[in-house]
């Protein structure tokens, strides 16, 4: 599946995060070391409240790590950047803008025609044709998440961070959205870092699954899922990976 | 009429009209039974209203009142919105100014009348100043609240797309706060209409407030007093209905829970 020589896109070395709350310090992340390769699909799983979202916010440049370093393409990360977009679980789209307005939000530097073309392309990609002038309040939860992904992709980012993007959706919509995301990932080849607490989601989507321990989060394990896409979710190979992962997470929960 | 069943079309008008008719009847018979010589009956108020409408002065009074509200409220919005947005945007500045605002805010604009007259003399400017004071504080408070209630997720998304602080304010924070700002403006407009009437009773000699006090002073014409009061109520209602139409604009409707 993956080419033999791979470029490191994102590298974390000894990343730690300590929050000060009411005079006491809470350690959320501890000694995180991870290399993410260009074009790779990574899933971060771990018990809820373990610091998965914090880790994603650190990678996105929203939170500076207390210790350690984070580099992307070899350069230290100093803050959020349109080259890497964070997609939130829900309520991330701007309710005062239409579908078109949301997708075009990050494109104000482009000339009119190119901008319109880019918007049309991504409306097509997330299958929201016919909803160009619709406001988010008239969209379903799944459509809003597709819109958020389209808004992110429209600015041509290298990395997409997704923070439990399908967590608030019903299970059927969720299944469909996974398929859509894989389709988009395969056609656009961005690096994707995807936070979830759903083991099935991780085994279905990821090249590698990173298992975090409970707080303070450390990297407990890293699994390579070498099943080609589309993955047959009832194959013996798939089930073996899933059981293996569940076993590790079970350990993570009690550790 | 159960609260669950949707009322019929006729019911939407029938019950409110019945309530109004009953209130009119109560008023009418109260005047008859108490044999009051001072308080006017609905019938004489109606005659008074017709008399006012025939009189050109009424239209001048309405125009003067509306003009004072427009200028006072408009100035309050023009100063209050940028000030409120900045205070919401810079919490440090808000901490410095908030105590002063909180002390000035509960002072009724009516209490400012003597000062307004000292500053501006009897006339238009004093009344406009009082309207401004009444509208200014609710607008500032709504803007500060609107900005600080913008979900952090919107700010983060805006920063992620590379917006400068000024762009973030214009393209994310302001539109996100706009529904709450509109609510503040609507409250301020209601207060402005209350204040202009009070101001005109003392600080100036035209407008609907002046009409009320003048009708009493020149010949105890209580029919005209009550007629003017009714007009004040109707115009206030019309202003509010007019303003509420703004809530239906598509880019703010999400903030008002209108079923779309």
- Taking an 8 Å cut-off on Cβ atoms, the answer to whether B251 and A80 are in contact is no
Q: What are the DSSP calls for chain A, one per residue?
A: ---SS--EEEEEEEEEEEEEETTEEEEEEEEEEEEEETT-EEEEE-STTSSHHHHHHHHTTSS--SEEEEEETTEE--S-BTTEEEE-SSS-S-TTS-HHHHHTGGGTTS-HHHHHHHHHHHHHHTT-TT-TT--GGGS-HHHHHHHHHHHHHHT--SEEEEESTTTTS-HHHHHHHHHHHHHHHHHH--EEEEE-S-HHHHHHH-SEEEEEPSSSB-EEEEEE--PPSSP-TTSHHHHHHHHHHHHHHHHHHH-
A249 and A24 Cβ atoms separated by less than 8 Å: no
Residue A89: CB atoms within 10 A of its CB come to 18
Q: Is the pLDDT of residue A2 over 60?
A: no
By C-alpha distance, which of A137, A69, A155, A70 is closest to A99?
A137
Residue A255: per-residue pLDDT: 46
A interface with B, Cβ–Cβ below 8 Å: 60, 62, 79-82, 85-86, 88, 91-92, 94-97, 105-106, 135-138, 155
Residues A154-193: tens digit of each pLDDT: 998 999 999 998 888 888 888 888 888 898 888 888 899 9
- Taking an 8 Å cut-off on Cβ atoms, the answer to whether B162 and A81 are in contact is yes
Q: Is the pLDDT of residue A81 over 60?
A: yes
- Taking an 8 Å cut-off on Cβ atoms, the answer to whether B178 and A96 are in contact is yes
- Taking an 8 Å cut-off on Cβ atoms, the answer to whether A62 and B254 are in contact is no
Q: For residue B81, which phi and psi values (nearest 5 degrees)?
A: -65, -55
* Domains parsed from chain A with CATH numbers: 8-83+157-254 (3.40.50.300), 93-156 (no CATH)
Residues A222-233: tens digit of each pLDDT: 989 888 888 888
Cα–Cα distance measured from residue B53 to residue B59, given in angstroms and rounded to the nearest whole number: 8
Cα–Cα distance measured from residue B173 to residue B166, given in angstroms and rounded to the nearest whole number: 10
Residue B7: per-residue pLDDT: 67
| Portion of chain A with pLDDT greater than 70, in percent | 96
Residue A148: per-residue pLDDT: 94
Residue B256: per-residue pLDDT: 85
Provide the terminal-to-terminal Cα distance of chain A, rounded to the nearest Å.
33
Six token digits for residue B51: 């008399």
Q: Residue A92: list chain B partners with CB under 8 A.
A: 153, 157
* Crossing angle for the helix pair B56-89 and B208-217, to the nearest 10 degrees: 130
Six token digits for residue A91: 């309520």
Which residues sit opposite A161 in a β-bridge? A86, A193
Nearest CA in chain B to A156: B161
Q: Is B56 an interface residue toward A (CB < 8 Å)?
A: no
Q: How far is A62 from chain B (nearest CA, A)?
A: 8
Residue B259: per-residue pLDDT: 44
Averaged over successive runs of 10 residues, the pLDDT of chain B (260 residues) comes to 65 89 93 88 90 84 95 97 93 92 92 92 92 96 94 94 92 94 95 95 90 88 90 94 90 73
Nearest CA in chain B to A105: B161
Q: Residue A138: list chain B partners with CB under 8 A.
A: 260
Residue B260: per-residue pLDDT: 41
Q: How far is B175 from chain A (nearest CA, A)?
A: 7
What is the interface size between A and B, counted as CB pairs within 8 Å? Answer: 56
- Report the predicted TM-score, pTM, of the whole model to 2 decimal places: 0.85
Q: How far is A94 from chain B (nearest CA, A)?
A: 7
Q: Is B153 an interface residue toward A (CB < 8 Å)?
A: yes
Residue A55: per-residue pLDDT: 93
Query: How would residue A251 be classed by pLDDT, with cut points 50, 70 and 90?
Result: low
- Taking an 8 Å cut-off on Cβ atoms, the answer to whether B153 and A88 are in contact is yes
Which of B153, B161, B250 lies closest to A106 in CB terms?
B161
Give the contacts of B98 (CB within 8 A, at least 6 positions apart): B87
Per residue, the 3-state secondary structure of A167-228, as one string, reads: CCCCHHHHHHHHHHHHHHHHHHCCEEEEECCCHHHHHHHCCEEEEECCCCECEEEEEECCCC
Give the contacts of A96 (CB within 8 A, at least 6 positions apart): B175, B176, B178, B251, B252, B254
Residues A82-105: tens digit of each pLDDT: 999 999 988 899 999 999 999 999
Cα–Cα distance measured from residue A66 to residue A70, given in angstroms and rounded to the nearest whole number: 11
Residues 176-215 of B with CB under 8 A from A: 176, 178
Residue B195: per-residue pLDDT: 95
Q: How far is A182 from chain B (nearest CA, A)?
A: 23
Which of A79, A82, A135 lies closest to B161 in CB terms?
A82
Q: Is the pLDDT of residue A107 over 60?
A: yes
- Taking an 8 Å cut-off on Cβ atoms, the answer to whether B175 and A94 are in contact is yes
Identify from A84, A91, A96 which residue to disrupt to test chain B contact, counting B C-beta atoms within 10 A and taking the largest count: A96
């Amino acid at each position: 599946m993956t080419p033999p020589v791979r470029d490191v896109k994102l590298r974390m070395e000894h990343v730690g995060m300590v929050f000060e709350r009411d005079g006491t310090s809470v350690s959320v992340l501890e000694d995180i070391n991870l290399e993410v390769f260009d074009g790779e699909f990574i899933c971060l799983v771990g018990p809820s409240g373990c610091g998965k979202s914090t880790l994603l916010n650190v990678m996105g440049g929203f939170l500076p790590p207390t210790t350690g370093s984070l580099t992307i393409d070899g350069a230290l990360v100093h803050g959020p950047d349109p080259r890497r977009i964070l997609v939130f679980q829900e309520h991330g789209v701007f309710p005062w803008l239409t579908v078109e307005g949301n997708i075009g939000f990050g494109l104000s530097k482009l000339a009119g025609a190119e901008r319109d073309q880019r918007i049309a392309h991504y409306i097509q990609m997330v299958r929201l044709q016919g909803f160009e002038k619709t406001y988010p309040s008239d969209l379903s939860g799944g459509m809003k998440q597709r819109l958020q992904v389209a808004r992110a992709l429209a600015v041509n980012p290298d990395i997409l961070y997704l923070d439990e993007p399908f967590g608030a959706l019903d299970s059927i919509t969720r299944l469909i959205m996974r398929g859509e995301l894989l389709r988009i990932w395969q056609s656009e080849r961005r690096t994707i870092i995807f936070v979830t607490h759903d083991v099935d989601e991780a085994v279905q989507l990821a090249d590698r699954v990173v298992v975090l321990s409970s707080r303070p989060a450390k990297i407990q394990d890293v699994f390579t899922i070498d099943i080609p896409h589309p993955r047959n979710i009832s194959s013996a190979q798939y089930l073996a990976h899933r059981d293996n992962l569940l076993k590790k997470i079970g350990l993570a929960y009690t550790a | 009429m159960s609260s669950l069943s949707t009322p019929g079309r006729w019911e939407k008008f029938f019950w409110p009209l019945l309530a109004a008719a009953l209130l009119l009847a109560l008023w009418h018979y109260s005047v008859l039974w108490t044999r009051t010589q001072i308080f006017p009956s609905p019938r004489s108020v109606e005659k008074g209203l017709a008399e006012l409408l025939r009189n050109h002065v009424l239209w001048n009074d309405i125009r003067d009142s509306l003009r004072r509200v427009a200028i006072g409220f408009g100035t309050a919005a023009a100063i209050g919105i940028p000030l409120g947005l900045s205070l919401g945007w810079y919490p440090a500045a808000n901490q410095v100014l908030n105590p002063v605002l909180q002390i000035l805010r509960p002072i009724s604009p009516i209490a400012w009348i003597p000062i307004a007259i000292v500053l501006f003399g009897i006339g238009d400017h004093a009344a406009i100043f009082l309207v401004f004071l009444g509208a200014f504080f609710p607008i500032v408070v709504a803007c500060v609240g609107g900005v600080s209630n913008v979900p952090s997720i919107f700010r983060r998304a805006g920063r992620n797309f590379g917006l400068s602080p000024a762009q973030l304010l214009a393209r994310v924070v302001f539109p996100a706060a706009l529904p709450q700002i509109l609510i503040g403006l609507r409250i301020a407009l209601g207060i402005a209409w209350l204040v202009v009437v009070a101001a005109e009773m003392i600080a100036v000699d035209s407008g609907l407030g002046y009409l009320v006090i003048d009708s009493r002073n020149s010949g105890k014409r209580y029919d005209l007093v009550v007629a003017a009061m009714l007009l004040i109520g109707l115009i206030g209602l019309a202003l509010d209905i007019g303003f509420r139409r703004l809530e239906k604009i598509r880019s703010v409707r999400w903030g008002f829970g209108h079923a779309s």
